Amino acid sequence: MSPATLSYAVPNLYGQSFLSMTDATPDQVKAMLALAIKLKADKRSGTAHRLLAGKHIALYFELPSNRTRVSFEVGSADLGLNTVHLRKEEINLGVRETIADTARTLSRYVDAIMIRAGSHHDVSELAEHATVPVINGLTGLHHPCQVLADLQTVLERAGALEGKTLAYIGDGNNMCHSLMLGSALVGLNMRIATPPDYEPQADVVQEAEALAQKSGASLTLVHDKYEAVTGADAVYTDVWASMTNKHEAEERRKAFAGFIVDQDLMAKANPGAFVLHCLPAVRGEEIAHETLEAHADAIFSQAENRMHAQKALMLSLMLKQ
């Protein structure tokens, strides 16, 4: 059980923060995915790696969570890493004291900080003043931990990333942003369909296009969901109204009408194409109930992979090599 050392390669991002997929190089992302797949197999066979024993991570949630909270808690326990859970009412980031003071204080107690907050700017400020790695557990702009798990799932199911095609149907939101960057880094083609006015941010598209040029991936933005799924090996969707824009849910329901991933749409994708969803899902809006159920194995494996991918990430950021 519990070997003191790991015979696998751990990408060396020691001491760095991970706020966006672009905080790792293509090789580092690929190495993290390879490590995540090995850690998953080891967990299945009962081999533990308590390589972060004696260290502590703070988990701060300004917004609700199931997957992020539990996958970080359990993944940390697997690595021997102690978690300190902080609620919004306790920290009240940027209100009770300056963000810089929160960052400097937490850095004296813990070895890393995972944060979920609406404002990406706040999270960047926290990382700027922290002397320990800060991990983005979702902001309104990015959700890179989810994308590590998503890429792991595509790799496991499609057998490769480079040259494969992922379609994304829905809002040009945090998921869409991080998926564009992650896919462009590793050479996965992306075809995105959003309603007009709900495209991903232009600066993130530009960043992804520059990365895609280097990796050879293609990035296509359209407004027709059928066009987007043509030639797709996997089809991804996410809620129409994210946590940070729940107040727009009613108007978004109108703007996104028809942007549902259902069996009719899946029939236009490549044979054997699978569906991914970061969850939580709103059945009957972005995804049909029967489609979620038909692809439940892929979708819940994707949720499981959060834990394995984040273990690989925490080892990369926190294990001194």
Q: Specify whether 224 is catalytic.
A: no
Q: Determine the Cα–Cα distance for residues 302 and 293; give it in Å rounded to an integer.
A: 14
Q: Specify whether 116 is catalytic.
A: yes
Q: Specify whether 238 is catalytic.
A: yes
Active-site choice (23, 145, 146, 150): 146
Question: Residue 40 touches which of ligand NVA, ligand CP, none (CB < 5 to 8 A by kind)?
Answer: none
Number of residues counted as binding ligand NVA (CB under 6 A): 11
Q: Of how many residues is the chain composed?
A: 321
To the nearest whole angstrom, how small is the minimum distance from the Cβ of residue 8 to ligand NVA?
29
Residues 24-83 that bind ligand CP (CB under 6 A): 65-68
Residues 138-167 that bind ligand NVA (CB under 6 A): 138, 143
Question: Residue 66 touches which of ligand NVA, ligand CP, none (CB < 5 to 8 A by kind)?
Answer: ligand CP
Task: Give the nearest residue (CB) to ligand NVA.
Answer: 242
Q: Determine the Cα–Cα distance for residues 154 and 172; give it in Å rounded to an integer.
A: 20
- Output the CA angle 119-168-164, nearest 5 degrees: 120
**Packing angle of the helix pair 296-318, 67-78 (nearest 10 deg):** 50
Residue whose CB is less far from ligand NVA, 17 or 242: 242
Binding track, positions 262-301, relative to ligand CP; x by CB under 6 A: ----------------xxx---------------------
Radius of gyration of the chain (CA): 19
Q: 238: which 2 tokens? A: 């996410």
Q: 308: which 2 tokens? A: 């394995």
Q: Determine the Cα–Cα distance for residues 153 and 172; give it in Å rounded to an integer.
A: 21
Residues 6 or more apart from 110 whose CB is under 8 A from it?
A: 56, 57, 58, 84, 132
Q: Quick check: 210 and 181 in contact, CB under 8 A?
A: no
Q: Among 158, 166, 185, 278, indicate the residue that binds ligand NVA (CB under 6 A).
A: 278
Q: Determine the Cα–Cα distance for residues 35 and 168; give it in Å rounded to an integer.
A: 26
Active-site choice (145, 306, 308, 310): 306
Question: Residue 175 touches which of ligand NVA, ligand CP, none (CB < 5 to 8 A by kind)?
Answer: ligand NVA
Q: Specify whether 150 is catalytic.
A: no
Binding site for ligand NVA (CB under 6 A): 138, 143, 173-175, 238-239, 242-244, 278
Task: Note the residues at the interface with ligand CP (CB under 6 A).
Answer: 65-68, 138, 146, 278-280
